Chain A
Amino acid sequence: MKNTPLVSIIIPNFNHSRYLDESVQSALNQTYENIEIIINDNASTDNSVEVLSKYVDRGVIINKNPQNLYNFNYDILDDWVSGKYLLLLCADDVLRPDFIRRAVDIMENDPDIGFVHGERDYIDENGITTELDPFFNCSFRAKGLDMLPIFTITDIGQSAQALIRYSAFKEIDLHDTESDHLNIDREQWFRLSMVSDYAYIRDKMALIRMPEVTSETTRIVETFYHPIALYHTAKSFEHWALLRGYDGIEERVGLALKRFAKECIGFTKVFLKREKYNLAKKYLLFMKLVDRTIEEDEDYKLCMDALNRKDASGIQIDEYKKSSNYSRRKRNYDPPKGYVIIDEKGQCIDER
Chain B
Amino acid sequence: MRDNSNVYILIIFDQYNGDDSFELLDRTIDSIHEQTLTEHKIRVLIADNASDAVVYKRLLKYEIESPRLISVIHEKKPVTKGRLLKGMERHLRYSDVSYSVIMEPGDVFYPEFLGKAMQLLNVHKGLEFAVFEADIRDDNNQESAIKQPPLFLHNCIFNKACRAEYYRRDIGHKVLIMHRKLPLLCSKKLPYYSVMAENGTEWFSVLIKDRDDFIYSISSMGCMADRKCSDPIDDLVKRAFLIKRSLYAVETGVFSNDNAKDIEIEEVKAAYRSLACHAMRLAYKQIKYGDYDKAGDCMLFAEMMDLSVVDDPVYGEIMDVICIGNISPSQAEHINELLSCRSAETPQAAREY
A interface, CB within 8 angstroms of B: 67, 70-72, 173, 176-178, 180-181, 214, 219-220, 223-225, 228-229, 231-232, 235-236, 239-240, 243-244, 278, 281-282, 285-286, 288-289
Contacts and interface: CB of A to CB of B under 8 A. Distances in A.
B191 interface: yes
Given A214-B254, A223-B251, A285-B300, A232 B238 contact: yes
A225 B251 contact: yes
**Most A Cβ at <10 Å: residue of B78, B80, B304:** B304
Grouping DSSP codes into helix (H, G, I), strand (E, B) and loop, the A interface class, with mixed when no group exceeds half, is helix
A180 B304 CA distance: 21
A181 B304 CA distance: 24
B101 interface: no
Interface stretch (B103-111, B170-178, B240-248): B240-248
A256 to B, nearest CB: 14
A228 B237 contact: yes
Contacts of B240: 228, 232
Contacts of A282: 304, 307
Contacts of A224: 244
A176 B195 CA distance: 10
Contacts of B252: 219-220, 223, 225
Interface of B is mostly: helix
B265 to A, nearest CB: 12
Given A180-B245, A225-B244, A228-B240, A239 B300 contact: no
Contact of A178 (B80, B244, B253, B303): B80
Given A219-B254, A229-B241, A176 B83 contact: yes
Interface string B249-264: 0011110000000000
B194 A178 contact: yes
B78 A288 contact: no
B80 A285 contact: no
A238 B78 CA distance: 13
Contact of A289 (B78, B80, B82, B301): B301
B304 A286 contact: yes
A326 B83 CA distance: 35
Given A223-B251, A244-B78, A285-B304, A176 B233 contact: no
Given A178-B195, A236-B195, 10 more contacts: A178-B80, A219-B253, A231-B241, A232-B237, A232-B238, A232-B241, A236-B80, A285-B300, A289-B301, A289-B304
5 contacts: A70-B191, A178-B198, A223-B251, A243-B49, A289-B301
Nearest to A278: B307
A240 B80 contact: yes
A235 B237 contact: yes
B286 to A, nearest CB: 14
A257 to B, nearest CB: 11
A232 B199 CA distance: 14
B155 to A, nearest CB: 35
Contacts of B190: 70
Q: Which 9 A-B pairs have the closest CB atoms?
A: A70-B191, A243-B78, A232-B241, A285-B304, A219-B252, A223-B251, A178-B195, A176-B83, A228-B240
Contacts of A244: 77-78
Most buried by A among B231, B233, B237, B238: B237
Interface in B148-200: 188, 190-192, 194-195, 198
B79 interface: yes
A236 B251 CA distance: 24
Nearest to A243: B78
B68 to A, nearest CB: 31
B232 to A, nearest CB: 12
Contacts of A229: 241, 244-245
Given A178-B192, A181-B191, A239 B304 contact: no
B234 interface: yes
Contacts of A220: 252
Nearest to A238: B234
Contacts of A231: 237, 241
Nearest to B190: A70
Given A229-B244, A235-B237, A289-B300, A176 B194 contact: yes
Contacts of A70: 190-191
B297 interface: yes
A178 to B, nearest CB: 5
A279 B293 CA distance: 25
Given A232-B237, A240-B80, A281-B307, A180 B192 contact: yes
A286 B301 CA distance: 8
A88 to B, nearest CB: 16
Nearest to B252: A219
